[in-house]
Structure 1
Amino acid sequence: MPFSYNGLWKQLIDKNLTKEEMRKTLKFSPSKIAKMGKGENVSMDVIERVCSHFQCSIEEVVQYIQEGEDEHDERGNLEANSI
């Protein structure tokens, strides 16, 4: 799972939206949402549409997790390299 979409999920929570509502609004296939849910790669077009819709930066949506690293450091803080 090299990608973390926790920033996107936080955006949805902050805006009181479900993944399904976002999917329908942005006209994404269910498989795109499933890929993000599993931390898999999605196209830059998908990321651009999310950023445009939520008026946010890429770093606020997705982060790259290097192989062998956990999303959290030993203190429980989120540790990921921003894209």
Structure 2
Amino acid sequence: MIKKDLKEKAELSTATMAKLGKNESVSLDVLVRICKVLNCEIGDVVEIVKDKRE
């Protein structure tokens, strides 16, 4: 699936797509919509990375 298709099917804004491309924070609602479109679990699209300062 290309980004444009994901954007349309998950009803994501251009700003949200930009955040995803920059590895910035997005809401849990956005992640849930992406998972529904991709028919996957949240752990398939999310990775927890410790802050280097920790």
What TM-score bracket applies, with the shorter chain setting the length? 0.7 to 0.9
Q: How many residues align?
A: 52
CA RMSD of aligned residues (A): 1.0
Q: How far has the Cα of 1:42 moved from its partner?
A: 0.5
Larger Rg: 1
Pairwise CA distance, 1:52: 1.4
5+ residue gaps, structure 2, are none
Give the corresponding residue for 2:40. Answer: 56
Q: Which runs of 5+ in 1 are unaligned?
A: 1-16, 69-83
Matched ranges for 1:42-81 at <5 A = 42-68=26-52
Offset at residue 26 of structure 1 (A): 1.4
Q: Percent identity?
A: 33
Q: How does 1:1-83 map to 2 (within 5 A)?
A: 17-68=1-52
Structure 2 CA distance for aligned equivalents of residues 65 and 20 of structure 1: 27
Tell me the TM-score normalized by structure 1.
Answer: 0.58
**Higher-RCO chain (CA-CA 8 Å, sequence separation at least 6):** 1
Which is strand-richer, 1 or 2?
1
Secondary structure of 1:45's counterpart equals helix
Secondary structure of 1:64's counterpart equals coil
Aligned amino acid, residue 38 of structure 2: F
**Runs (4+) off by over 3 Å:** none
Report the TM-score when normalising by structure 2: 0.83
